[in-house]
Amino acid sequence: MLLWTIIKVALGSLLANKMRSFLAMLGIIIGVGAVISMLALGAGARHQVMNRITAMGTNLLVVRPGGAQRRGVQSGSRESLTLGDAEAVLQSVPDVQALAPLVRGRAQVKYFNANTDTTIAGTSLSYLAIRGFELAKGRAFTSVEEDYAARVAVLGSAVSTQLFGERDPVGERIRVKNVNFRVIGVLKAKGDQGWFNPDDMVMVPYLTAMRRVLGQPYLDELDVQAQDAATLARVETQITSLLRKRHRIRAGADDDFHVRNQAELIEMASTVTRTFTILLGGIAGISLLVGGIGIMNIMLVTVTERTREIGVRKAIGARDRDVLSQFLIESILISGLGGILGIVLGFGVAGILSGLSDYQTVVETQSVILALAVSGSVGVFFGYYPARRAARLDPIVALRYE
Amino acid sequence: MMIETRALRKSYQLGETTVRALDGVDLAVREGEMLAITGPSGSGKSTLMHILGCLDTPDGGEYVLAGEDVARLRKDRLAAIRNRRIGFVFQSFNLLPRLSALENVELPLLYGGRHDAKNAAAQALETVGLRERMRHEPSRLSGGERQRVAIARAIVTHPAIILADEPTGNLDSRTGDEILALFQRLNADGRTLILVTHSAHVAAHCGREVGMRDGRVVNGG
Give the distance from residue A396's alpha carbon to the nearest chain B alpha carbon, in angstroms.
7
**B74–A contact, CB cutoff 8 A:** no
Half-sphere exposure of A37 (CA within 13 A, CB side): 20
* pLDDT tens for each residue of A115-169: 999 999 999 988 988 888 889 999 998 889 988 899 999 999 999 998 998 889 9
A399 chain-B contacts, CB cut-off 8 A: 55, 90, 94
Under 8 Å between Cβ of A161 and A189? no
Q: Are residues A237 and A280 in the same domain?
A: no
What residues in A contact B110, CB-CB < 8 Å?
A: 1-2, 5
- Taking the CA of residue B48 and the nearest CA in chain A, the distance in Å comes to 12
Residues A46 and A87 reside in one and the same domain: no
More confident residue, A167 or A285: A167
Search chain A and give the residue with CA nearest B83. Answer: A317
**pLDDT-derived band of residue A75, with 50, 70 and 90 as boundaries?**
low
Q: Is residue B112 part of a domain?
A: yes
Q: Do residues A328 and A187 share a domain?
A: no
Report if residue B2 sits inside a domain.
Answer: no
- Check B79 against A396: CB less than 8 A apart: no
By C-alpha distance, the chain A residue nearest B53 is A315
Contact B112 A317 (CB under 8 A): yes
Indicate if the pLDDT at residue A172 is higher than 70.
Answer: yes
B73 touches chain A (CB under 8 A): no
Taking contacts as CB-CB distances below 8 angstroms, the residues of chain A near B75 are 319-320
Query: Between residues A214 and A190, which one has the greater pLDDT?
Result: A214
Q: Whole-angstrom Cα distance, residue A22 to residue A292?
A: 13
Q: Is residue A287 part of a domain?
A: yes
Instruction: Give pLDDT, residue B19.
Output: 87
What pLDDT, on the 0 to 100 scale, is given for residue A306?
92
Q: Do the domain assignments include residue A60?
A: no
Judge: A314–B113 Cβ closer than 8 Å, yes or no.
no
User: Angle of helix B143-155 relative to helix B101-111, nearest 10 degrees?
Assistant: 20
CA of A306: which chain B residue's CA is closest? B96
- For residue A315, list chain B residues with Cβ-Cβ distance below 8 A: 53, 55, 82, 88, 94
Residue B80 lies in a domain: yes
Last residue of a domain, one of A214, A246, A278: A246
Q: Average the pLDDT over A227-238 and give the result.
A: 84
CB contact under 8 A, A322 and B111: yes
* A76 within a domain of the structure (yes/no): no
* Pairwise CB contact (< 8 Å): A1 & B111: yes
User: Which residues of A fall within a CB distance of 8 Å from B90?
Assistant: 312, 399
Instruction: Report how many domains make up chain B.
Output: 1
pLDDT higher than 80, residue A77: no
Residues of A with CB under 8 A from a CB of B: 1-2, 5, 12-13, 16, 308-309, 311-322, 395-396, 399
Asked whether residue A272 carries a pLDDT value surpassing 60, the answer given is yes
Domain range spanning residue A196?
Answer: 81-246
Decide if A57 is inside a domain. no
The residues facing B89 across adjacent strands are B164
Predicted local confidence at residue A355, as pLDDT: 87
Q: Is B111 on the interface with A (CB under 8 A)?
A: yes
Band of residue A390 on the pLDDT scale cut at 50, 70, 90: very high
| Distance separating alpha carbons of residues A98 and A223, to the nearest angstrom | 8
What tens digit of pLDDT does each residue of B48-90 get?
Answer: 999 999 999 999 999 999 888 998 888 899 999 999 999 999 9
- Per-residue pLDDT reduced to its tens digit, A350-385: 999 888 877 788 888 888 998 888 888 999 999 999
Give the pLDDT band of residue A393 (cuts 50, 70, 90).
very high
What's A250's DSSP letter?
Answer: P
Q: How many CB contacts within 8 angstroms connect chain A with chain B?
A: 63
Determine the residue type at A82.
T
Residues A228 and A300 in one domain: no
A225 and A57 Cβ atoms separated by less than 8 Å:
yes
CA B102 to chain CA centroid, nearest Å: 20
User: Do A98 and A185 reside in the same domain of the chain?
Assistant: yes
| DSSP annotation string for A255-279 | PSEEEEEHHHHHHHHHHHHHHHHHH
Same domain for A161 and A231?
A: yes
Q: Among residues B199, B211, B204, which one has the least CA distance to residue B91? A: B199
Across the interface, do A399 and B82 touch by the CB < 8 Å criterion?
A: no
Give CA separation, A163 vs A160, B122, B216, in Å.
Answer: 5, 88, 113
pLDDT of residue B162: 95
pLDDT band with cut points at 50, 70 and 90 for residue A195: low
Residue A193, C-beta contacts closer than 8 angstroms, at least 6 positions apart: A52, A55
Q: What percent of chain B has pLDDT over 90?
A: 75
Report yes or no on B14 lying in a domain: no
Q: Is position A256 within any domain?
A: no
A393 to each of A115, A380, B36, how far by Cα in Å?
A: 87, 20, 29
Q: Is A188 helix (H, G, I), strand (E, B) or coil?
A: coil
Q: CB–CB of B96 and A312 under 8 A? A: yes
Total structural domains within chain A = 2
Give me the average pLDDT of each 10-residue run along chain B (221 residues): 91 88 92 93 90 92 91 90 93 90 92 87 93 92 94 94 93 93 93 92 92 89 68
Nearest-angstrom CA–CA distance, A72 and B173: 104
Average pLDDT over residues A77-106: 87
- Mean residue pLDDT of chain A comes to 87
Q: Residue A313: its chain B contacts at CB < 8 A?
A: 96, 107, 111
Would you call B94 and A399 a contact, using CB atoms and an 8 Å cutoff? yes
User: Any bridge partners for residue A173, and if so which?
Assistant: A182
Residue A61 lies in a domain: no
* DSSP annotation string for A314-335: HHTT--HHHHHHHHHHHHHHHH
B153 CB contacts (<8 Å, ≥6 apart)? A316, B87, B95, B104, B105, B107, B108, B124
Of A72-81, A286-295, B91-100, the poorest mean pLDDT is in A72-81
Q: Which residue of B has its CA nearest to A4?
A: B110
Does residue A327 lie within any of the structural domains? Answer: yes
Inspect the interface and report whether the beta carbons of B108 and A396 lie closer than 8 Å. Answer: no
Decide if pLDDT at A72 tops 60.
no
In a domain, B66, yes or no: no
CATH code of the domain in which B205 resides: 3.40.50.300
Res A68: pLDDT:
63
Cβ-based contacts of A322 with chain B (< 8 Å): 111
* Range in A25-29, A283-287, A314-318, B154-158 the model is least confident about: A283-287
Find the helix or strand (DSSP H, E) in which B107 lies: helix B101-111
β-strands A201-205, A152-155: how paired?
A: antiparallel
- Average pLDDT over every residue of A330-340: 92
Q: Does the residue B100 lie in any domain?
A: yes
What whole-number distance in Å separates Cα of residue B202 and Cα of residue B178? 11
| pLDDT band (50, 70, 90) for residue A337 | very high
A148, A210: one domain: yes
**A323-330 mean pLDDT:** 92
A372 domain-assigned: yes
Note whether A230 and A277 are same-domain residues. Answer: no
d(CA B85, nearest CA chain A) in Å:
10
pLDDT (0 to 100) of residue A226: 87
Q: Is B114 on the interface with A (CB under 8 A)?
A: no
The answer on A326 and A237 residing in a single domain is no
Instruction: State whether A205 and A241 are in the same domain.
Output: yes
pLDDT at A70 over 60: no
Among the listed residues B94, B107, B96, B136, the one whose alpha carbon sits nearest the alpha carbon of residue A13? B96
| Residue B63 lies inside a defined structural domain of this protein | no
Read out DSSP for A107-136? EEEEETTEEEEEEEEEE-THHHHHHT--EE
- Please judge whether A313 and B111 are an interchain contact, meaning their C-beta atoms are less than 8 angstroms apart: yes
Mean pLDDT value of segment A307-334: 93
Residue B12 lies in a domain: no
Domain that includes residue B206, residue range: 31-57+75-219
Backbone angles phi, psi at B182, to 5 degrees: -60, -45
Terminal alpha carbon distance of chain B? 14
Q: Are residues A108 and A43 in the same domain?
A: no
- Tell whether A138 and A212 lie within a shared domain: yes
pLDDT tens readout for residues B15-32 = 888 888 999 999 999 999
Comparing alpha-carbon positions, the chain A residue that sits nearest to B51 is A396
